[in-house]
Amino acid sequence: MLGYALRRLLGSLPTLLAIVTLAFFMMRLAPGGPFTLDRSLPPAIEKNLLAAYRLDQPLWRQYLDYLAGLLRGDLGPSFKYQDFTVAELIATGFPASLKVGGLALLVAVFVGVGLGTLAALRRNGRLDHAVMALAMVGIAVPNFVMAPILALLFGVHLAWLPVGGWGDGGLRNLVLPVTALALPQIAYIARLTRGAMIEELHRDHVRTARAKGLGERIVVVRHTLRGGLLPVVSYLGPATAGLVTGSVVIETIFAIPGIGRYFVQGALNRDYTLVMGVVIFYAVLIILLNLLVDLLYCVLDPKVKHD
Amino acid sequence: MAWSRLGRGLGGIALAAGLLLGAGGPATAERVLRIANMGEPQSLDPHKVAGTWENRIVGDMFVGLATEAADGSTIPGAAEFWTVSDDGLTYTFGLREHRWADGTPVTAEDFVYALRRILDPKRAAKYAFILYPIAGAKAFNKGEQSDPAKLAVRAIDLRTLEIRLENPTPFFIDQLTHYTAFPVPRHLVEAKGEDWVKPGTIVGNGPYTVVEWVPNGRITAVKNPLFWDAANVAIDKVVYYPDEERAAVLKRFRAGEIDLATDFPSDQIDWLKANLAGETRISPYLGVYYYPVNNARPPFSDRRVREALSMAIDREAITDKVLKTGEVPAYSFVPPGTGNYGQPAEVAWKALPMKERLEKAKALLAEAGFGPAKPLKVTLKYNTSENHKKVAIAVAAMWKQLGVETELLNSEVKVHYNQLEENDFDVARAGWIADYDDPENFLSLLATTTGKQNYGRYSNPEFDRLLDQAARTADLAKRADVLRRAEAIALADAATIPIYHYVSKNLVSRKVRGWVPNTKDIHRTRWLSLAD
C-alpha cells in the first residue's frame, strides 16, 4: 500500500505543474497589475516598483523564477501585504479555514448519512419524500445564495447570531458559515447514502440476517451501513474540493480571516504570488485528501486491492 | 429587537473590558480607543504605505519634522523650529531633543538616512515622488544619479538638519507632515533589515508603538512613555480594526464596539441624520470627484462637445438628491478651501440657470455637428460601486436631455484604472484626494508631462507654461494668481468634468473628545481623549 501511495504522489506532480502553469498565466491575463491603483503612479515610480518585484522581466523568465522558488519551498512575498510572506499569510489563515471546513465536513457526513439512512428505511414514505425534496433544494441552491439568506434570517431578522466576523472563532461565529458550507454537501451525501442503502437492504446477506431473526437495528448498523457508506467515502474527495471552493465564497460573505478570503482579495488586488500560493496549497490539499480517501476505501472494501 | 441586540452588545463590551483589565494587571482603567480603520495596511513601514488607513497607524507611531495639530494645521513636530533662506531654497531645521521608543536618541542622521532610503530606486517606494521638490531627489529616485551624497539633505550636527530644494516650494513644510518624510530608526533598520517593522520590534519617535498585528483581525498600539509630549497624551491604547464593510461597522458602532468609524454607508444617511445626528460628522475634504474626458479621441477632442457634456450636468441634483451626504457641487477642479490658493477659478456658466445651460449645450453640440439626426454617442465607464453607478445613471439622464445616447459600462477597480491609464475611454469616472494641501497637487494632474495620470491626455501649452511659472514663483500671492489663471484655462477648455468635491464621513462616539473636523481628515490619536 505504501508503494501505491508513493506512486500516486509521484503521479500527481505533473498535475500540480499543470495547475501552477495554468494559474500563473491566467492570472497575468487579467487587465491591470498589482500596482494599478485608483490613483496612478508617476512612470519613474512605477518603473522602480516593477523592477523591485521583477515584473519588468519577460513573462517566461518570471515563470521560471517562480518555479525555481517553488522548488526551494519559497512562495515569495505578498505584493499587497508587504510585511508578510505568502507562506506566513497561509499559515495565519489556515486555522480558521480548517475550523470552518473541517466542521462543515463532519456535519455534512453525520447529518447526510443519518438523513440518507432514515430515508432509505422509510422508502417512499413521507419522511423519504421530505428528505429528498430538501436534498434537491440543497443541491440546487448555491451557497452564495444560501449564505446571505441565512445571515439575513438568523443574523438580521431574528438577531440570534452575528451576521459576520470571526471574533475568536467561537461557536456563535461558526454556526452560520458552517451551516451554509455544509448544506449542499449534506444534500448530496443524503442522496448517495439513500441510494446505496436501498441497494444494500435488498442484498442476500441482509435477507439472511433478517431470516436469522436479528433485530432491525443490528441489521442496519452491522450488515448494511458498511456497504452503504462506500459511495459516501468515495465522494469525500470531491466533497473536500467542494468545501474548499465553497469556503472562498463563505469566508468572503462572513468576513472570516481564512485563506479563502485571501484568495478573493488576492485575485482582486492582482496579488500574483498570494493567489498562486493559495492555489498550490489548495491543489496539494485536494490531491492528498483524494489519496487518503482511496486508501480508506481499500480498508472498507476488501475487494479493492491497491497492490 | 434593537434593544435586545444593544443589550447583548453592551454585555460583550463589559466582558471585553473585564478581560482587558484582567490582562492589564493593576485595575486602573486603561483608556482604549477603538477605530474602524477601513482597510488592512500593506505595511507598517512608512516608506511602503500609500493609504489613509495606513497613515492613521503609521502617523501615530512616527512624527515628521512638521506634524498636524488637532485641526489639521501644520505645526512643529520632530523639529522645534526652522529657518528658510531668502531665496526660499534652503531650509534649516533644529531638532527637538527626543528619543525613539527604545531609548535611542533621534538625530539628524536618522532623517538623512530615512530620506535616502525612501528615495532609493531599489526600495521602489510608491510615494517617493512627494519628495521630488528636494534638490537631487528626482534624479536619485529615477536612478539617473546614484550617489546619495548628491541628495541635498545633510546633517550639520546631531540636531541640525539642512534641506535644499530645487524650486521655492511654498507647500514644502506641509509636505513634511506626510509619512514619506517620517524618520526611521537607522540603528534598528540596519540591525534587523526588513524585519524591523514586525510588531514587538518596531519603534517610532511618536506617541504610540504597535505591539500586535493579527492579519485581517486587528492592530494594537500602546502609548510610548518616551514620547516628548507623553504627559499630554490621554489614550493608553489604540486598536485599529481593518473592517471595510461599512454596514457591519455601523452595527458595531451602534453596539458600542467601535468609538471612531472612518466612514459610514452613504445609503444610511437618512437614518443616521434621524438617529445619530450628533455622532455623524461630515466635513469638506480636499478631493474632487470628476469625469475625465478623452481629449485625444474624436469627437471628444472637440472643446464644444466636452463643454456641452459638462454644462448639462446638474451638480446640485447629484449632491442633494442622489448622494445626500453634504458633498459640494464642483464648478472648479481644485476644491474650495485648498491652502495657498484662495477662491479657485470657476467655470464661466456657473451662474446660468439650468434651462439656459441646456439651451447653450444643445447649441454647442449642434455646432459640433450633432443633433436629432446624428445623436452623440458616449460610453461612460465607472468602477463598480453603488454610488458611482447612481451618479452615472443620473448623468446619463441629464445628457439624454441633449439627445446624447449614453452607454454605461462598469468594471472592477483594477480593470477600470487600467483603462484610464491606457486612455481607453470616452468619459469615465475618477477621483483625486490631495496628497498635500496645495492647488499644484490637483492642477499638475492636467499637465502634458504628467503622462498616464493625465487620464484624458489634456494638453495645452499655455496651461503647462503657467504651471512651470508657478513652480518658480516664491511669492505666495503671485503664485496663487498664476495657478488660478492656469485653472481658468483648463476649465474654459473643459479639460475634465468636475462633478463634486468630496466630504469626509466619520462616526465619532460621544465619548471621544478633542476630535476636530478638518479638510485633511487627519485626527492623530495624541490629541484625542475619552470621557468617562
Cell of B208: 504610540
How much is the average pLDDT of B255-262? 90
Which residues does chain A have within 8 Å of residue B118's beta carbon, measured at their own beta carbons?
Answer: none
pLDDT at B176: 95
What pLDDT does B294 receive?
Answer: 97
- Whether A15 has its CB under 8 Å from any CB of chain B: the answer is no
Residues of chain B with Cβ-Cβ distance to A35 below 8 Å are 126
Query: Which parts of chain A register pLDDT below 50?
Result: none
Q: Give B164's strand partners.
A: B90
Q: Is the pLDDT of residue B166 over 70?
A: yes
- Tell which A residues from 122 to 141 touch B, by Cβ distance under 8 Å: none
pLDDT for A217 equals 82
Q: Which of A48, A163, A261 should we substitute to test contact with B (largest number of B Cβ atoms within 10 Å)?
A: A48
In DSSP notation, B471-486 reads HT---HHHHHHHHHHH
Listed in sequence order, the residues at least 6 apart from B27 whose beta carbon sits closer than 8 Å to its beta carbon are B21
Tell me what pLDDT residue B7 has. 38
Rounded to a whole number of angstroms, the distance from the CA of B148 to the nearest CA of chain A is 17
Q: Is B12 on the interface with A (CB under 8 A)?
A: no
Mean pLDDT of B511-529: 95
Query: In terms of pLDDT, which residue wins out, B110 or A48?
Result: B110
Binned at pLDDT 50, 70 and 90, residue B155 comes out as very high
Class (C level, CATH) for A91-257 = mainly alpha
| Among B54, B216, B453, the residue to mutate for chain A (most A Cβ within 10 A) | B216
User: With 60 as the cut, is the pLDDT of residue B1 above it?
Assistant: no
Look at residue B450 in the predicted model and tell me its pLDDT.
83
pLDDT at position B6 is: 38
- Residue A40 contacts B where some CB pair is shorter than 8 Å: yes
pLDDT at position A211, please? 85
For B298-333, give one letter per residue: b (16+ CB within 10 A) or e.
ebbebebbbbbbbbbbbbebbbeebbebbbbbbbbb
Confidence class for position B490, pLDDT limits 50, 70, 90: very high
Q: Which residues of chain A neighbour B143 with C-beta distances below 8 Å? A: 48
ipTM of model:
0.70
Task: Give B409-451 pLDDT, tens digit per residue.
Answer: 998 888 898 899 889 999 999 999 888 889 999 999 999 988 8
Residue ranges of B 271-330 with Cβ closer than 8 A to chain A: none
Question: CB under 8 Å, gap of 24 or more: what pairs does A80-83 form?
Answer: A80/A34, A80/A265, A80/A266, A80/A269, A80/A271, A80/A274, A80/B42, A81/A271, A81/A274, A81/B40, A81/B42, A81/B43, A81/B215, A82/B42, A82/B43, A82/B45, A82/B48, A83/B42, A83/B43, A83/B44, A83/B45, A83/B197, A83/B198, A83/B213
Peptide bond between residue A142 and the one before it cis (omega within 30 degrees of 0): no
B365-397: per-residue pLDDT in tens? 999 999 999 999 999 999 988 889 999 999 999
The verdict on B144 touching A (C-beta cutoff 8 Å) is no
Record: contact A53-B124, CB cut-off 8 A: yes
Report the alpha-carbon distance of residue A130 to residue B301 in Å, rounded.
66
Q: What is the DSSP letter of B383?
A: E
- Counting one residue from chain A and one from chain B, the pairs whose CB atoms sit within 8 A come to 116
Please report the pLDDT score of residue A39 as a whole number.
67
Buried b (16+ CB within 10 A) or exposed e, B253-262: bbbbbbbbbb
Cell of B115: 530620506
Q: Residue B10: pLDDT above 50?
A: no
- Band the pLDDT of B399: cuts 50, 70, 90: very high
The gap between the terminal CA atoms of chain A, to the nearest Å, is 6
Residue B89 has pLDDT above 50, yes or no: yes
pLDDT tens, B70-88?
Answer: 999 999 999 999 999 998 8
pLDDT at B63 over 90: yes
Strands B496-508 and B280-292: antiparallel
- B485 — contact with chain A (CB < 8 Å)? no
Instruction: Reduce the DSSP state of residue B431 to 3 states and report it.
Output: strand
Mean pLDDT of B183-190: 96
Nearest Cα to Cα of residue A115 among A210, A183, A201:
A183
pLDDT tens for residues B455-478? 999 999 999 999 999 988 888 899
Report residue B318 as a C-alpha cell: 447629484
Interface contact B124-A80, CB threshold 8 A = no
| CB atoms B4 and A269 under 8 Å | no
Cα B309 from Cα B396, distance rounded (Å): 10
Please answer yes or no on whether A49 and B50 come within 8 Å at the CB atom: no
How distant is the Cα of B229 from the closest Cα of chain A, in angstroms?
29
The Cα–Cα gap between B112 and A12 comes to 54
Q: How much is the pLDDT for B11? A: 41
Whether residue A48 and residue B431 make contact (CB cut-off 8 A), yes or no, is: no
pLDDT in tens, B119-140: 999 888 888 888 999 999 999 9
| Confidence bin at B356 (pLDDT 50/70/90) | very high
